[in-house]
Structures are given as structure tokens and as C-alpha cells.
Amino acid sequence: MRISVVGCGYLGAVHAASLASLGHDVVGVDVDEDKVVSLTAARAPFFEPDLPDLLGQELASGRLSFTTDVSQVRGARVHFVCVGTPQKQGEYAADLRYVDAAIESLLPHLSPGDVVVGKSTVPVGTALRLAARVREAQPEAHLVWNPEFLREGHAVQDTLHPDRLVYGLDPAADDVPERVLDEVYASLLGDGTPKVVTDFATAELVKVAANSFLATKISFINAMAELCEATGGDVTVLADAIGHDARIGRSFLNAGLGFGGGCLPKDIRAFMARAGELGVDQALSFLREVDSINMRRRVRMVDLAREVCGGSVVGRNVAVLGAAFKPDSDDTRDSPALNVAMQMHLQGAHVVVTDPRAVENARRTAPELKYAATVEEAVQEADVVVLLTEWREYRELDPRALGEHVAHRRVLDGRNALDPTVWRDAGWAYRALGRP
């Protein structure tokens, strides 16, 4: 089937390439010319494992192309909308200007029977409004809301093997949009992927409910970390112990610096803002606490650095390992690591940051920080080494070899990713969040 994907960022580029790999004929549209040039040359404009190979393979097959010219969507039967919905400046609410602009740009090119599929994460009520707009422009076109649940760093796998597909359908429509979407996802459905068919509101809510639940799980374990810090308990043992209960489960109970990125923080805030508009803000008041527990971890990390440096970081050399919001990604949007590095810098420390993939993005976000290409370079004469993103190469560091480069063998493990015994045996003072 001929398909267009409007918005080719972390979500859209992966979605476009993955749909091509399922045998569809896909055109990706983006307003960012550099991104289109890069994607057309099979260079992923961001780091995502498996994406460069998939792009190369699908561009070569002739099934995938990218353009800045939205009129190229003509002839496609299905149009996926994958543009950003960031947090509004100075507010909690989501900024829908990109979604509105993407839909408006599609309208003149829609033909009868076309299906516009929203994948961006939007406040509940958005799809109903946009469906009316689509119908107004092309009475025989349809809108479906089909939220996306991929994780960065696993985006290709998650797109081709999703846990579920959710279709939010327009009550005013017939069964055509569902059948068309079934055709798009035929091979995933054939693999047994569960399909949930529902109304617009439920589909929109499923997405933000899932992210709110994940954020709550992380803040729950980080609240337990605060209790462990006050009592000498070990939150990693606690997480393992409660995680053995199948009703709780061990995943998303990794205590540490908390959640960041382009999704969980802004999605829970937009959800709270929307609940306020709907007059049910009390229902989500717990998310305010989830957010504050999360932000407190960043402050606690800086306090810990001050503590181990004798009360102040002024003039201290701090080596920061990690700038991305999580490993296997170069994304620094709302990165807890960069936030902590920045706080230490503002408090007078000489901060040097390194990251296997995210230095370029970090430099754009936080140009006032110093960056190093390698761990060895970053830790030269360090008074303290601070692990903030648990990349595999950092988890596997040899503390004896690293100890040769630093001024003081002090390590702060912001992600509970290192083995304290191994580091202490190598002569390091080891401190972590929620762990003695």
C-alpha cells in the first residue's frame, strides 16, 4: 500500500522505514530540509540502533523515499502524522501547533477514502476536533488515532514487534478505516499482536495512562530510595525483592536519577494540564508528586557531589559520564544527566561531560559545559567521577585502570549501575542514590 509519514523524527523516521520493510511503498515528509537530505542518504539524523541498516535496505529497495514537499503524499491511501507535541514554554500543556500544521498541510492533498492516522501523543479530545477538520476538507476521508508505544534505543524492534496496536475510531465512520489499518499492519496482526479497537478518547487516554503508570513506577521506587537513604536500606535489594511478586514485576523499578527524555516528563505534565481543563485535576494530583519526586533526585545527586567534595563543588573537577536521557540514545531532551551536570557547573565546579553518542546534542543544549571524547579524557585529575547515564561501556569500566587518571578515587553512581564491592576493592569511595 502507498503510505505517507508526516514528521520524520525519532518516531516518524523509524515508522516510515519499518512500514517499508513490511512491503509498503512509503514517502516520509518533513519540514526540516537537513533531516530529509540525511535520511535520503540513509544517514539517520539521530542515533537509533538498527535504523541505519533498515534505512539503507529500504531506500535501496525503492520502497522508501523522503521529501520536504508535502504534495508528494498524493496517491497515498494512509497518512501517518508523527510530528512533535512538546511541552509549551512556561506551561504544563502540550503544544499542538505542529500537529495542527501537519494536518492542515495534508488536507488539500486528501482523496476520498484516504485515512489520516494520528500517532503523535496528544491531549484527550484532540482527535475529535481534528476528525471534524478532516471531514470538512474531504468528506470521504477518515481519521484514526493509533498511539505509538516505542522506546528510544529499541525503536525498530518495538515498531515491528509491538506489545499491542490501539485503534481509536471515529464513531461517525463506517468500518473502512479499521480495515485499511488492518491492511497496513497485516503482518504484525498475523504474528498475533493484540489489537484493541476503541473510541478516540480511550485511545488518546491509553497512551498517556501508560506513560503515567511507567513514570509512577519509577517515582515509587525513587521514593523508596529516599527512605533507604534515611535508614541505611538498599533500594536495589528492595526492588529485587518486591519485583519477585508477579503482580508488581521488576521492570521500571531501577532507582536512581529518575526519568527524563522527550516523553515521560512532558506527557505527565500535559495530562495534568488536560485534567485541569476538564475539571478533574484532583484525579491526577498524584502525578504532581510523581513529578516532584523525580525532580528531587536530580537535586539529591548534586547534594551528594557536594557532600563527597567536603561541602562544596566550587573549583572541583567533576567528570560526568553520560549526557543522554538514557543509554542507547543520543537524545538529550530533558536529560537528567545534563540537568545535574549543569547544576554542578552553576555551583562553580569544573565539569567535563562525556557520552558515547550524545555529545553533539548536549553541546547544542548546554554549550557552557566542557565536553570530552573519551572517558579517559573526561576523568583526568577528577576530584569525583559521576555516572549519570548507564551506558554498557560505563557499567563495564575497570575501576583500577580508571583510578590511574583521577586526582581522587571518588565515584557517584547515579543509576545504581556499578558493583560497589568491585569499586571499593579498587580503592574508590563509592556512593549511590538509595544505597549504602
Ligand X SMILES: O=c1ccn([C@@H]2O[C@H](COP(=O)(O)OP(=O)(O)O[C@H]3O[C@H](CO)[C@@H](O)[C@H](O)[C@H]3O)[C@@H](O)[C@H]2O)c(=O)[nH]1
Task: By CB under 6 A, tell whether 254 contacts ligand X.
Answer: yes
Is 91 strand, coil or helix? coil
Q: By C-beta, is 254 or 317 nearer to ligand X?
A: 254
Task: By CB under 6 A, tell whether 211 contacts ligand X.
Answer: yes
Binding residues for substrate: 149-152, 207, 252-256, 260, 326
172, HSE (Cβ side, Cα atoms, 13 Å) = 12
Q: Spot the catalytic one: 8, 82, 228, 263.
A: 263
* H or E stretch covering 196: strand 195-199
Q: How far apart are CA 332 and CA 328, in angstroms?
A: 12
The three cell numbers locating residue 398: 575497570
Among 261, 322, 414, 434, binds ligand X (CB under 6 A): 261
Among 5, 16, 36, 264, binds ligand X (CB under 6 A): 264
> How are strands ordered across the β-sheet holding 165-169?
64-67, 25-29, 2-6, 78-81, 115-118, 142-145, 165-169, 195-199
Q: By C-beta, is 151 or 395 nearer to ligand X?
A: 151
Min separation Cβ 236 and ligand X, Å:
11
The three cell numbers locating residue 45: 539524523
Is residue 263 annotated as a catalytic residue, yes or no? yes
Among 117, 128, 131, 218, binds ligand X (CB under 6 A): 218
Instruction: Name the amino acid, one letter, at 368.
Output: E
The C-alpha cell 518516531 sits at 11
Binding site partner of 264, from ligand X, ligand NAD, none, Cβ cut-off 5-8 A by kind: ligand X
> How are strands ordered across the β-sheet holding 350-354?
370-371, 350-354, 317-321, 384-387, 410-413, 429-432
Q: Are 416 and 236 in contact (CB under 8 A)?
A: yes
Binding site partner of 7, from ligand NAD, ligand X, none, Cβ cut-off 5-8 A by kind: ligand NAD
Binding residues for NAD(+): 30, 35, 85, 121, 152, 266, 333
Binding site partner of 253, from ligand X, ligand NAD, none, Cβ cut-off 5-8 A by kind: ligand X
Q: Which of residues 299-328 bind ligand X (CB under 6 A)?
A: 325-326
Binding site partner of 334, from ligand X, ligand NAD, none, Cβ cut-off 5-8 A by kind: none
Instruction: Name the amino acid, one letter, at 361.
Output: N
Between CA 244 and CA 252, with CA 259 as vertex, the angle to 5 degrees is: 15
10 Å Cβ neighbour count for 407? 13
User: Of 72-80, 252-260, 314-322, 378-386, which segment contacts ligand X by CB under 6 A?
Assistant: 252-260
Q: How far apart are CA 342 and CA 368, in angstroms?
A: 8
Rg over alpha carbons for the chain, rounded to the nearest Å, is 23
* H or E stretch covering 266: helix 264-277
Among 45, 123, 260, 356, binds ligand X (CB under 6 A): 260
Q: How far apart are CA 104 and CA 110, in angstroms?
A: 11
Residues engaged in binding ligand NAD (CB under 6 A): 6-12, 29-32, 35, 82-85, 98, 101-102, 105, 120-121, 148, 150, 152, 262-263
Binding site partner of 35, from ligand X, ligand NAD, none, Cβ cut-off 5-8 A by kind: ligand NAD
Residues that bind ligand X (CB under 6 A): 121, 148-152, 211, 214, 218, 252-254, 256, 258-261, 263-264, 267, 325-326
Q: Which active-site residues does the annotation give?
A: 263
